[in-house]
Amino acid sequence: MAVRGGLTETGRAVAAAFREEWGRVVATLIRMTGDWDLAEECAQEAFARALERWPRDGVPRRPGAWLTTTARNHALNRIRRGKTETAKLRELGTMADTSARPDQGGLPDDRLRLIYTCCHPALPVEARVALTLRTVLGLTTGEIARAFLVAEPAMAQRLVRAKRKIRQAGVPYRVPPAHLLAERTASVLGVVYLLFNEGYAATEGSDPVRSGLCGEAIRLARLLHDLAPDDPEVTGLLALLLLQHSRHAARTDGAGDLVALEDQDRSRWDRAAIAEGAALVDEALRRGEPGPYQVQAAIAACHGTARTAGETDWPQIAALYGRLEAMSPGPVVRLNRAVAVAMADGALAGLALVDRVEGLEGYHLLHATRADLLRRLGRREEAAAAYREALALSRADADRRYLARRLGEVRRAG
Amino acid sequence: MHYLMLICGNEEWEPSPAELAAVIADTEAWVKEMDGRGVRRFGDRLRPTGTATTVRVRDGETLLSDGPFAETKEQILGFDLIDCADLEEALDIASRHPSARLGSIEVRPLWPFGED
């Protein structure tokens, strides 16, 4: 949306309101009209009006309430002008200024409803992510398409189909009932984590939209944590994202190349985020219901709290990966555990585990890991062959430069 | 909203008499509960796929072929028409049907004439 480019003070106020309020305005309008497209159009209209009015009248004291009221009035006019759907109109007509209405228990119910509906298991996984980005965060179809490297018309189709299924199949607009909450929350957490990873580990090329996805994922995780403070996996996910993102500034060098964890300038890590993440992990684990996000967050906390690479508690990390593998077995977890074991018990022990990982033959990091272990063991020719295999499979520019540099090193050393 | 539950299962499944009796009892219990709740409007078993004939009309010509539309192991064994508040309720009701454990159940909303 154009509001993002605002340079004036009020432009910035609208942009800030967009980030903070978009999901809430859309969610409220969906509840009132039951019409997803109408809700988005009216929210857009409200922000467009804000760009017009706020420079003249000043930024309202409660921008969210102003935007919701404006969007609601616009919806009311639209419905009046169109074929009157009396039920909708009656509801809108009797609706007080809903933005001022305190939500039950202080929870922003509408936004939560929106997130859970976007992540309903009756929708395809890729549609859940796209729909969450579109309706909860207000990303444009073009931005979402770029983030997921698909053509814009294809992404538009995906969104249209998802909204059509919500309407035609009667997907309910609500937070699931208590007996379904845990499993549905798992789907929501999965979407948020996927979103974060899209920004964190760009799988291909380089695109500026992606770094923004990490921030948006953290925002969603915070929202969920506010809403479900007693769910330790929700706490675990927020901790994990904060801890991963704390290294953001140190992960790439001046040329945009990836810097390995051990080589990162730790003074550039975000200490506040690490402290918050580590405290959240402790809080979650004290509940005694460990889950995959909590364990991954605990691993990230081990890295984050080590003052130097040499002080990293690798035996602890290897043990945590062992727990993670027991909880959610998978070849990528096994590979990560192998790396930790290599650090704790030596490259040979790690290599033995790497060679037992199955199902990742086409994954460049498997070959890159083997290559690094072989290099550490002084088996340069095998290392070079593995680096070449990793290079052939890697599609992200930064990964490719890192691998090419390492390949050059083992060649020269040999 | 009305939803059609297409009960899909493997016709080649050969249950022991005890297994069969348990499935029949579970199915009868489901039917009784859903009829009692006023949710289930109509439903029945279907004769095995060997009795099916598929009809297609192409270029004005009626083509009949023996057997079901799809050559898969799982076939539609029966159906139920249910009336629910939303998809959540329909999925909950379908998940209680014993065939959800043995095969699968496709749940689809009806599309009344005149609706877009």
Domains of chain B, earliest start first: 2-109 (3.30.70.1060)
Q: Is the pLDDT of residue A27 over 50?
A: yes
- Convert the pLDDT of each residue in A341-361 to its tens digit: 999 999 999 999 999 999 888
Q: Contacts of residue B111 in chain A, CB cutoff 8 Å?
A: 168
Taking the CA of residue A171 and the nearest CA in chain B, the distance in Å comes to 5
Whole-angstrom distance, CA of residue A384 vs CA of residue A375: 8
| pTM score over 0.90 | no
The more confident residue out of A259 and A369 is A369
In the numeric block, the tokens 């976007």 are attached to: A118
Q: Contacts of residue A113 in chain B, CB cutoff 8 Å?
A: none
Tell whether A171 is within 8 A of chain B (Cβ).
yes
Do residues A114 and A26 lie in contact, with contact meaning Cβ atoms separated by under 8 Å?
yes
Strands B2-10, B74-83: parallel, antiparallel or unpaired by DSSP? antiparallel
Whole-angstrom distance, CA of residue A184 vs CA of residue A222: 17
The whole-number pLDDT of residue B24 equals 92
Domain boundaries, chain A: 361-413
The whole-number pLDDT of residue A208 equals 56
User: Across the interface, do B88 and A168 touch by the CB < 8 Å criterion?
Assistant: no
Q: How many CA atoms lie within 13 A of A346 on its CB side?
A: 5
Q: Report phi then psi at A7, rounded to 5.
A: -105, -25
User: Across the interface, do B86 and A176 touch by the CB < 8 Å criterion?
Assistant: no
Whole-angstrom distance, CA of residue A217 vs CA of residue A195: 6
Whole-angstrom distance, CA of residue B36 vs CA of residue B25: 16
Q: Is the pLDDT of residue A184 over 90?
A: no
Q: How many CB atoms lie within 10 A of CB A163?
A: 21
CA nearest to A365, candidates A340, A341, A322, A400: A400
Counting every residue written for chain A, the total comes to: 414
Angle between helices A9-33 and A36-57 in degrees, nearest 10:
150
Q: Which of A102-106, A235-239, A349-353 has the lowest mean pLDDT?
A: A102-106
The whole-number pLDDT of residue A7 equals 56
Cα–Cα distances (Å) from A313 to A209, A282, A344, in that order, read: 35, 17, 8
Q: 3-class SS at A395?
A: coil
* pLDDT band per the 50, 70, 90 thresholds, residue A90: low
The more confident residue out of A101 and A35 is A35
Q: Report phi then psi at A362, rounded to 5.
A: -95, 10
CB pairs under 8 A between A and B: 22
Mean pLDDT is highest, among A28-37, A102-111, A211-220, for A28-37
Q: Contacts of residue B88 in chain A, CB cutoff 8 Å?
A: 171-172, 176
Tell whether B111 is within 8 A of chain A (Cβ).
yes
User: Across the interface, do B88 and A171 touch by the CB < 8 Å criterion?
Assistant: yes
Portion of chain A with pLDDT greater than 90, in percent = 56
The whole-number pLDDT of residue A5 equals 43
Q: Tell me what ipTM this predicted complex has.
A: 0.77
The whole-number pLDDT of residue A99 equals 44
DSSP assignment, residue A252?
B
- Convert the pLDDT of each residue in A152-175 to its tens digit: 999 999 999 999 999 888 999 988
* Residues with pLDDT less than 70, chain B: 69-72, 116
Those residues with Cβ within 8 angstroms of residue B84's Cβ, 6 or more apart along the chain or in another chain: A170, B1, B2, B3, B39, B90, B93
The whole-number pLDDT of residue A107 equals 46
The whole-number pLDDT of residue A3 equals 44
